[in-house]
């Protein structure tokens, strides 16, 4: 594999998934120091990829996939890739990589279409695995002669999330240098089991106003959903719908901590080294064993019960066993 010069990492899904794939770029660079890493993602996650030191080029699949078939194939051929790693299985991308005659095409053997499109098929399954998502991603690198067994502690140093854009003056002015700046991200756009607005409201009430400055973040649509929390706690700063992703990354970088369910902002906070507290159900495969935030100051609280609704992915209240008092206790320790 000495001739590997240009490698495509394909992960065309959401923010948290992309964050937990960034260590793959690190270990590839360790094995092939002069390699060029192209990350095939979404325009939505581009601001995340722009912060990673090890990503040399970004291609937004939702943009290039609009090209005609010939133009798209010509574009892929023009990349002169030696290898593509299908971290997130995408049937169309896999077929395109084969047509473009990328020499090394790696995809898990547990996707049938990979048997017809890939020539390297590591045999592992994510479902039911005891490994974390970030650890599972490394299993795809075995055909490149790269070791696949890394502890979560060692992975903390693999993100190299260092190219953070400066925070603009308007947002910087909101940061209180004399208080603990805490972000609460109550919603998840349906990507995770949520803790509930009542719990976030209770947490706000438990934290001393003179010690904590609290921001509520989320999309503009989520802003309408969290109005009860804001109306009950007039001293919090409503930031829903007021930042794009790039600004949110910079804003998190200037704050001290973040509390959320298993969402993209939670994982961003973790790799930025902030006090990060995730709220998780105990049921597989959405439990913290698979999706916990990875970072030196990251932790999680997990429900002590599971239920049929949670197992099916439906909304449920099993996270009510995670008490706001427990979250407040962790945050208050940072003041000592």
- Per-residue pLDDT at 16 exceeds 60: yes
- Look at residue 199 in the predicted model and tell me its pLDDT: 94
- Look at residue 316 in the predicted model and tell me its pLDDT: 60
What's the number of domains the chain is made of?
2
183's CB contacts (< 8 A; 6+ apart) are: 214, 215, 216, 217, 239, 251, 252, 255, 257, 258, 259, 260, 265, 269
26-44: average pLDDT: 97
- Per-residue pLDDT at 335 exceeds 60: yes
- pLDDT tens string 301-326: 998 776 655 654 455 667 878 999 99
- Per-residue pLDDT at 198 exceeds 90: yes
Torsion of CA 197, 199, 201, 207, to 10 degrees: -150
- Look at residue 264 in the predicted model and tell me its pLDDT: 96
- Look at residue 321 in the predicted model and tell me its pLDDT: 84
**Which domain-ending residue is among 121, 155, 189?**
155
Shared domain for 132 and 187, answered yes or no, is no
171's CB contacts (< 8 A; 6+ apart) are: 243, 247, 250, 251, 254
- Residue 184 falls within a domain, yes or no? yes
- Per-residue pLDDT at 284 exceeds 90: no
- Residue 299 falls within a domain, yes or no? yes
- Look at residue 2 in the predicted model and tell me its pLDDT: 66
- Per-residue pLDDT at 184 exceeds 70: yes
223-235: average pLDDT: 89
- Residue 163 falls within a domain, yes or no? no
- Look at residue 311 in the predicted model and tell me its pLDDT: 52
- Look at residue 308 in the predicted model and tell me its pLDDT: 59
6-19: average pLDDT: 97
Shared domain for 139 and 174, answered yes or no, is no
Share the mean pLDDT of the chain.
93
- Residue 111 falls within a domain, yes or no? yes
- Residue 60 falls within a domain, yes or no? yes
Answer positive or negative: Cα dihedral of 166, 170, 176, 182: negative
Shared domain for 226 and 101, answered yes or no, is no
- Look at residue 307 in the predicted model and tell me its pLDDT: 62
Q: What is the CATH number of the domain that holds 174?
A: 3.40.50.2000
- Residue 161 falls within a domain, yes or no? no
236 vs 126, which has greater pLDDT? 236
- Per-residue pLDDT at 246 exceeds 70: yes
Instruction: Give the span between the Cα atoms of 222 and 331, in whole angstroms.
Output: 25
Shared domain for 151 and 192, answered yes or no, is no
Shared domain for 200 and 329, answered yes or no, is yes
- Per-residue pLDDT at 131 exceeds 80: yes
Instruction: Give the span between the Cα atoms of 137 and 144, in whole angstroms.
Output: 13
The parent domain of residue 111 ranges over 6-155
- Look at residue 309 in the predicted model and tell me its pLDDT: 59
- Look at residue 1 in the predicted model and tell me its pLDDT: 62
């Amino acid at each position: 594999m000495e001739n590997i010069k240009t490698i495509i990492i394909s992960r065309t899904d959401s923010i948290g998934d992309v964050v937990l794939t960034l260590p793959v770029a690190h270990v590839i660079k360790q094995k092939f120091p002069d390699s060029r890493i192209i990350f095939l993602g979404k325009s939505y996650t581009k601001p995340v990829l722009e912060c990673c030191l090890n990503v040399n080029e970004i291609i937004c699949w939702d943009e290039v996939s609009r090209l005609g078939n010939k133009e798209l194939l010509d574009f892929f051929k023009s990349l002169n890739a030696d290898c593509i790693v299908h971290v997130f299985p995408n049937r169309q991308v896999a077929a395109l990589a084969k047509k473009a005659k990328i020499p090394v095409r790696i995809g898990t053997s547990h996707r049938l279409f990979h048997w017809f499109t890939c020539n390297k098929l590591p045999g592992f399954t994510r479902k039911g695995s005891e490994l974390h998502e970030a650890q599972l991603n490394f299993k795809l690198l075995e055909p490149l002669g790269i070791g696949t067994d890394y502890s979560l502690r060692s992975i903390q140093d693999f993100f190299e999330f260092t190219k953070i854009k400066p925070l603009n003056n308007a947002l910087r002015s909101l940061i209180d240098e004399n208080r603990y700046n805490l972000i609460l991200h109550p919603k998840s756009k349906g990507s995770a089991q949520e803790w509930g607005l009542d719990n976030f409201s209770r947490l706000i009430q438990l934290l001393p106003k003179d010690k904590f400055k609290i921001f509520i973040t989320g999309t503009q649509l989520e802003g309408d959903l969290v109005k009860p929390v804001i109306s009950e706690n007039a001293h919090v700063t409503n930031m829903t719908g007021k930042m794009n992703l790039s600004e949110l990354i910079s804003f998190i970088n200037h704050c001290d901590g973040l509390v959320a369910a298993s969402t993209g902002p939670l994982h961003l906070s973790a790799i930025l080294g902030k006090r990060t507290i995730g709220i998780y159900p105990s049921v597989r495969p959405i439990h913290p064993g698979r999706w916990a935030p990875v970072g030196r100051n990251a932790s999680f609280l997990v429900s002590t019960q599971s239920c049929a609704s949670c197992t099916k992915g439906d909304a449920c209240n099993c996270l009510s066993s995670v008490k706001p008092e427990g979250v407040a206790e962790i945050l208050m320790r940072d003041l000592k």
